[in-house]
Amino acid sequence: MTSSLWIIIPAAGVGQRMQAHCPKQYLSLAGQSILDRTIEIFVDHPLIAGVAVGVSPEDVYWSESKWYQHASVHTFSGGKERSDTVLKGLKFLAKMTGNEQQEVLVHDAARPLLTQKKLEQIIRHDSDQGVLLAMPARDTVKRQLPIDTSLACTSSVDITLDRSGIWLAQTPQKFVSGRLLYALEKAQTEGVVITDECSAMEFAGWHPDLLVGESSNIKVTFPEDLLIAEALFSYLRSSNLHFNK
């Protein structure tokens, strides 16, 4: 395999659920920003051509990143929603590389604990449908009743769902860039809400493969997640499971 795979990291969000003083991707994890830790996973991999980071036009933090002027890291202007940023990233890469049908990995900016083992697996997994990391559901899954906002706001259980066959999506997610571009534009045109790239591909008729991820590959979303990430980072680093190629 040659170094032709590109990484897109959508990092234009503000992370309101984190309730922090800055966007969550710029919070510190073991002395560096979460985003820097995330980029660090990919930059030196021999099968990765480069990393494209989508940031908000109003971003005042990215220029302080250790990767800001790195030769393999490229910046583009992100959009309002995640799907907008990924769409812009695909167009950015097509223009920069002249290739509209290359493999791309999309990875969350706030998911800094991906191990090299899982990165290697998804890079080498060959599927024309695409592929993503995901975890089989372990907990009992409940569906809530519709909430009547005129009454008490407490949620109530409707039914328990069969968790067999239920997977919780992670990133990275790998697709052919032209197909993902088509899928995202189709969803956007038809007003379909897209929560990850796989959901766009599903809407367009593809059925991406599922690769079992790792429970340590968490997305930092809430304040308590940062504490968990700190502990996991320390464990992964001491166990030589994280950054070693």
Q: What is the pLDDT of residues 16-34, one digit of tens each?
A: 565 568 899 999 999 999 9
Contacts of 72 (CB under 8 A, 6+ apart): 43, 48, 49, 50, 51
* Amino acid, res. 85: T
- Residues 46 and 3: their CA atoms lie apart, in Å, by 6
Q: Residue 238: is its pLDDT beyond 80?
A: yes
- pLDDT at site 49: 97
pLDDT tens-digit series, residues 125-148: 999 999 999 999 999 999 999 887
Looking at the domain 5-126+171-192+218-238, which fold is it? Spore Coat Polysaccharide Biosynthesis Protein SpsA; Chain A (3.90.550)
* Amino acid, res. 208: P
Average pLDDT over residues 228-242: 87
pLDDT tens-digit series, residues 188-218: 999 999 999 999 999 999 999 999 999 999 9
Domain boundaries, the chain: 5-126+171-192+218-238
Which of 69-83, 132-146, 153-167, 181-195 has the least mean pLDDT?
Answer: 153-167
Please report where in the chains the tokens 């697996």 appear, as a residue. 121
- Residues 94 and 100: their CA atoms lie apart, in Å, by 5
What's the alpha-carbon Rg for the chain, to the nearest Å? 18
- pLDDT at site 244: 45
Asked whether the beta carbons of 157 and 141 are under 8 A apart, the reply is: no
Q: What is residue 80's DSSP assignment?
A: S
The neighbour count for residue 77, using CB atoms within 10 Å, is 14
The neighbour count for residue 169, using CB atoms within 10 Å, is 17
What is the pTM (predicted TM-score) of this model?
0.93
- Residue 150's pLDDT band, with cuts at 50, 70 and 90, is low
Please report where in the chains the tokens 């009992």 appear, as a residue. 140
- Residues 39 and 35: their CA atoms lie apart, in Å, by 6
- pLDDT at site 17: 61
